[in-house]
Amino acid sequence: MIKSKNIKKTLSVSFTALLAFSLISPVYGDSSTATSAGASTISAKVSAKLNQQFSASEYVTYLVKLKDQVDTESVAKHAFQKASAEQISPAAAKLSVRTTVVNSLMDTAEKTQQSVEEYLKKEVNNGNVKKYKSYFIVNAFAVTSTKEVMDNLATLPEIDKILPDEKRELQKVEIDKDAQPVVEEPTADQAVADQAAVDTAVTEVNAQKSVEESVYKDAVTPSRVEWNITKVKAPQVWAKGIDGKGVVVANLDTGVEYTHPALKRKWRGLNASGQVVNPELSWYDAVNGASLPTDSDGHGTHTMGTIVGSDSNGTNEVGVAPGAQWIAVRVFNPDTTDSILLDGGQWLLAPVDKNGKKHPELAPDVVNNSWGGGPGLDEWYRPVTKAWRAAQIFPEFSAGNTTWSNPGGAGSVANPANLPEAYATGATDVNNKLASFSLRGPSPYGEVKPEISAPGVNIRSSVPGGVYEGGWNGTSMAGPHTAGLAALLLQAKPSLTVDQLEDVISKTATPLTDSQYRTSPNNGYGYGLIDALAAVNSVLN
């Protein structure tokens, strides 16, 4: 059994729970005694697909969603208003809002889950429930039980829906190991403009005496910087002394090889001496329970490299925000389920220490999601994305890649990237053309999707084994550029909210069009190619 959190038991709560349990306890008898009204209730709440799964197995894992759910957007709004009235600093305001959101979610779960959990504990002892786990990021349970238990749960008035624990696949990337390094030939005008921008930035930094000029002159030489990093103008931002320092990014992925030379010294679980300290607060393996960051697939190490990667001697500048710190959650190995993704998403909101205490103050500022499901309306992960936003965690999602079951075209953008609360990134090539595999909008809500584009063809980054590999193709490779840009912006102006980050990134992008998408924004490129220099300048000015 997976034990859920301890519930505080006051006298009044205990009496209420006891009364509720006594009223519903007759339901927990033989399911054959269920009335026609009860059968109708079960049918209305339980997914037909889930019922079919029980025909093949005695025990099935499923999700039980309660009716009482927190409006995290409203909670955050009131918390911001209170912080504003108290005139506290922007950093303190963000932390106050995040803590308020987490506490609200936890309190709601604590008050509404008790009778359900009492029943599940009883059925564990009876052998009808193999395991269960409660969640607060969505007021829900993941339960592995017999069909009789599921049917009994469905009759409870506090239960809203019972859904299958769907299997989710990692976005498949294509790796062309024979791909040649990209050598982009800029026009004469562009070369002059780019060099002028670099020179101006270095001059500004030198005048401010904030960094050593020589460091950044080296950093922006083409031989040291990957083409895609240059393409989004990150080196010019580094030349201003802005590289993501002080910002924490995360990914939900296959894990990260923390010993990789491009990533090791940036993991938050290491102190200044390189010793591992409280790793459980900077890494969570929701799949296998590994105590230290690891990655047997490579996908997560590659995406994290594009966000923060750089080695100590400066010969491999593969990341957009090399000064940022990272934490990570492994949720794929290589596939996963909804319950694992909920578990990982919840940990990000409030990392948990060895004693089980939750730490919302240690949540990341940005989370990269290079994964997704099919197209269309599917809101199973929407409460998680809403909670992240309310807690001021920037939720970047890759738009998704074409597959045999989703060949692309209008409205093909993957879920959860197609949610209104997700900020989706499409993939472009070295010529700023939309990649053939990049999924397109509009969203099921009629919104432009993806919101933005970034390089996603022939991307070189860190991979397990302490090495680097190019030729990776996918929107999984594009999304981390956007996550890295969010980190740069948060160093430049820490008070930026998630809404403001989206607004800045979109409005400063370079508009992109083609024969199919003749105006901008559009459902192929969104608002265009991210421009780190323009974005950072807009908030500095």
Residues labelled as active-site residues: 253, 299, 476
Residue 469 amino acid letter:
E
State the CB neighbour count (10 A cutoff) for residue 10.
Answer: 8
State the CB neighbour count (10 A cutoff) for residue 176.
Answer: 12
Q: CA of 270: how far to CAs of 192, 224, 247, 280, in Å?
A: 42, 26, 15, 12
Based on the number of CB atoms within 10 Å of its own CB, is 281 exposed (0-12), middle (13-18) or buried (19 or more)? middle
Note whether 399 and 424 are within 8 A (CB).
yes
Residue 533 amino acid letter:
L
As beta bridge partners, residue 367 has 250, 395
Interatomic CA distance for residues 397 and 414, integer angstroms: 9
Helices (H) and strands (E) in the chain, counts: 17, 16
Tokens matching residue 250: 């995360």
- Written as one string, the DSSP assignment of 243-261 is S-TT-EEEEEES---TTST
Q: Output DSSP code: residue 181.
A: P
Ranges of beta strands (E only) in 156-255 are: 159-164, 167-169, 174-175, 248-253
Q: CA of 155: how far to CAs of 20, 31, 146, 193, 386, in Å?
A: 13, 11, 15, 68, 28
Note whether 255 and 293 are within 8 A (CB).
yes
Region class of 314: left (phi > 0), else alpha (psi between -120 and 50), else beta: left
Give the sheet arrangement for strand 452-455, strand by strand.
283-285, 325-330, 248-253, 366-369, 394-398, 423-428, 452-455
Interatomic CA distance for residues 133 and 271, integer angstroms: 33
Q: 3-class DSSP state for residue 135?
A: strand
Interatomic CA distance for residues 425 and 402, integer angstroms: 14
